[in-house]
A and B are shown apart, each in its own frame.
Chain A
């Protein structure tokens, strides 16, 4: 089993900072989405907020786990991030197990909820997807990469849908959004490889950081272009 020592000293704690940045971006977009909902009553704005709120919660759990490992809360220091498996679960508090489980399931539900905004699902599809997400979260305790692979698949579908939308409408900000979602999707691919070496974990964190910075830039572009007059005329 890999231990935290595999992560170079210079990077320890930096991952928590990267996750804080991601949380900041998600909170910012969610805040404006709720604000817009209050004006326009578009339910999709609320759905986006719900999806992002779930991701905020999942990042919070991830930060708690990461800090727990680095600062040895509840005797977690012998674990590497994402390394909790059924075999070493016996020696740990149930609380830690629940933290991992909650982090993983909330992430998947958050991403799936985001996907549902673009591709509305029937109730039966929702139950089937929920079941599969619970199963993959459970098996992630045996092999962590299953969780990241599931996240990768959902993110890939979201990115592909954004590409489809961009091809139809050609909104420049959507292009930026595609890059952001694309980077976040690729980061999941690197997370799946962290069993091979913790260097992939570091790469994944940085790719994720770029992805969320991209999301921030997308949102800034929305604010800039949104209120801008086009050739001295106002357009929808």
Chain B
């Protein structure tokens, strides 16, 4: 059975989902891509916006979530940590 995701894992999954969509994603897509409920996503999204990892925007009546430079840096840091842990078996 897969291990329960930590808070940081969920944040990482969300940021990766945005990054993989070229830095811009619709909230519903983000919810599906990061395997979350609507309520969960709302709370995590608030945190990401608060920490300036993403920002909300809208275009042609559609709501989008945009990745910031800080968000990209954080994703890269998380990938680095993951690689470190995989390599050293931590």
Chain A contacts to B: CB under 8 angstroms: 32-33, 36, 39-42, 44-45, 47-48, 117-118, 161-162, 165, 169, 171, 173-174, 176-177, 218, 221-223, 225-228, 233-236
Q: Which residue of A lies closest to B83 (CB)?
A: A226
B side interface size, CB within 8 A? 21
Pick from B77, B78, B80 the residue with the most CB of A within 10 Å: B80
B89 near A174 with CB under 8 A, answer yes
Query: Contact between A169 and B90 (Cβ–Cβ < 8 Å)?
Result: no
Which residues of chain B have C-beta atoms less than 8 A from A33's C-beta?
A: 84
Contact A45-B90, Cβ < 8 Å, known A234-B20, A236-B79: yes
| B36 close to A (CB within 8 Å) | no
What 1/0 flags go to B72-90 for Cβ under 8 Å of A? Answer: 0001111111111111111
Residues of B56-78 at the interface with A, using a CB-CB cut-off of 8 Å, are: 75-78
**B10 CB within 8 Å of chain A:** no
Task: Check B48 for interface membership: any CB of A closer than 8 A.
Answer: no
Residues of A within 8 A of B19 (CB): 234
* Chain B 20-40 residues near chain A, CB threshold 8 A: 20
Docked complex Cα distance between A64 and B85 (Å): 33
Contact A44 B85, beta carbon cutoff 8 Å: yes
Candidates A117, A118, A177; contact of B87 at CB < 8 Å: A177
* B16 on the A face (CB < 8 A): yes
Apart from A47-B90, A226-B79, A226-B81, 11 more pairs, CB < 8 Å:
A36-B80, A39-B77, A44-B90, A48-B88, A48-B90, A117-B89, A169-B86, A173-B86, A174-B89, A225-B83, A234-B20
Given known pairs A39-B8, A227-B79, A233-B20, the reply for A222 and B89 (CB within 8 Å) is: no
